[in-house]
Amino acid sequence: MLKLSLEAIELVDAIARHGSFAAASERLNKVPSTISYAIAKLEEQLGIALFVRQGPRVSLTAAGQEMLKEGRWLVAAAADLESRMRQIATGFESELRLVHDSLIPTSAFSHDIRAFEDLNCGTRLRIACETLTGTWEALRDGRADLIVAAGDGPAGGGYKAVAVGSLEFAFCVAPTHPLALLQRPLTRADLLAHTAVVVGDGARSMSDRTIGLLAGQRRITVPSMAAKIAFQSEGLGHGFLPRACVRAALAGGALVELALMEESRPEEHFWLAWKPASGTGEAFKWWRNRLQRPLLPELLPA
């Protein structure tokens, strides 16, 4: 049997904080002799001194300090566990996993996260991001309870989805790029003669998507849309970019939009999706209801 209980740690903590057995007894609403006896009994059982007595004042020994350093964390963890157990008994899950497309910065959900934390419901929140098909794959493989994903979901269904926005794309290059100097609508041959910048799909097992890329096209594959925008602004390639993300760059001349004769990029639709079996917990219901609103392009950094 362990000789050290959470109640004993709390008692030692109270004495250490208030500097004497008498002050701690007043704080805990207990008789001083009861406090003294409990500490003496604990020290006897442990075989170590926890306090140095200096008249009515006491201070922790090195062993006592070590006990409190970890003990306070144990008390807090136990209180947190009790809170989660009570809340889970009322319908809240122990964890909620939200995965969003990497085009959306996680910080864009800060207001939603703050509102959820204010519930103090005991549900741990786990947020991750994937790219393109990788977001759908996270839902399919059970690594997400709720996703905000781009494009159509995988064949075969097995999920529910609600439209949460769409993005318009513009074909852009740096003003110094050779394509910008042609001063005419671009042909397929023009595009093939120069390197494209593409965002790599995060899918592990599902077929990945390649958007706006021609067969045989030279390419630089980057991990995110932010990297794609940066590379194209540096003149390292061409490609379609979300208009909402590059509006300021286009207005300021860091990027220029070019017309294409043959190629086009349709709007990209975004979905809030989940598996029907996931929708039982209170935390899931809260997030599903919260995110059923226009998310794109509203959440994107300008």
pLDDT of residue 155: 78
Q: Flag whether 301 is in a domain.
A: no
Q: In sequence order, what are the residues at sequence separation of 6 or more whose Cβ sits closer than 8 angstroms to the Cβ of residue 263?
A: 171, 188, 191, 212, 214
| Phi, psi of 19, deg, nearest 5 | 85, -5
List pLDDT tens digits, range 157-206. Answer: 889 999 999 999 999 999 999 999 999 999 999 999 999 999 988 765 55
- Cis amide prior to 105 (ω within 30 degrees): no
Tell me, yes or no, whether 161 and 25 share the same domain.
no
Cβ atoms 71, 12 nearer than 8 A: yes
Which domain CATH number covers 211?
3.40.190.290
Partners of 222 in the beta sheet? 199
DSSP string, 205-218: SSPPP--S--TT--
- 73-101: average pLDDT: 85
Positive or negative torsion for Cα 16, 53, 66, 77 = negative
**Mean confidence (pLDDT) of the chain:** 90
Half-sphere exposure of 206 (CA within 13 A, CB side): 22
Tell me, yes or no, whether 24 and 75 share the same domain.
yes
Please indicate whether residue 171 or residue 22 has the higher confidence score (pLDDT): 171
Q: Flag whether 1 is in a domain.
A: no
pLDDT band at 216 (very low <50, low <70, confident <90, very high): confident
- DSSP-derived letter for residue 181 is G
Tell me, yes or no, whether 180 and 258 share the same domain.
yes
Q: Is the pLDDT of residue 219 over 80?
A: yes
Tell me, yes or no, whether 78 and 16 share the same domain.
yes
Q: Write the single-letter amino acid at 148.
A: V
* Tally of domains within the chain: 3
Cα–Cα distance measured from residue 37 to residue 214, given in angstroms and rounded to the nearest whole number: 82
Cα–Cα distance measured from residue 87 to residue 143, given in angstroms and rounded to the nearest whole number: 23
Tell me, yes or no, whether 62 and 190 share the same domain.
no
Tell me, yes or no, whether 25 and 81 share the same domain.
yes
pLDDT of residue 208: 58
Tell me, yes or no, whether 196 and 84 share the same domain.
no
% of the chain residues with pLDDT over 90: 60
| Phi, psi of 24, deg, nearest 5 | -65, -40
Q: Flag whether 240 is in a domain.
A: yes
- 251-274: average pLDDT: 94
Which domain CATH number covers 78?
1.10.10.10
| Phi, psi of 52, deg, nearest 5 | -100, 120
Tell me, yes or no, whether 188 and 245 share the same domain.
yes
pLDDT band at 81 (very low <50, low <70, confident <90, very high): confident
Q: Flag whether 287 is in a domain.
A: yes
Q: Which domain holds residue 41?
A: 6-89
Tell me, yes or no, whether 173 and 116 share the same domain.
no
Which domain CATH number covers 156?
3.40.190.10
Nearest by Cα to 275 from 154, 116, 94, 127: 154
**How many CB atoms neighbour CB 196 within 10 A?**
21
List pLDDT tens digits, range 105-143. Answer: 999 999 999 999 999 888 889 999 999 999 999 999 989
Tell me, yes or no, whether 204 and 284 share the same domain.
no
| Phi, psi of 251, deg, nearest 5 | -65, -35
pLDDT band at 91 (very low <50, low <70, confident <90, very high): confident
Tell me, yes or no, whether 159 and 233 share the same domain.
no
Tell me, yes or no, whether 105 and 77 share the same domain.
no
Instruction: Say what the pTM is.
Output: 0.71
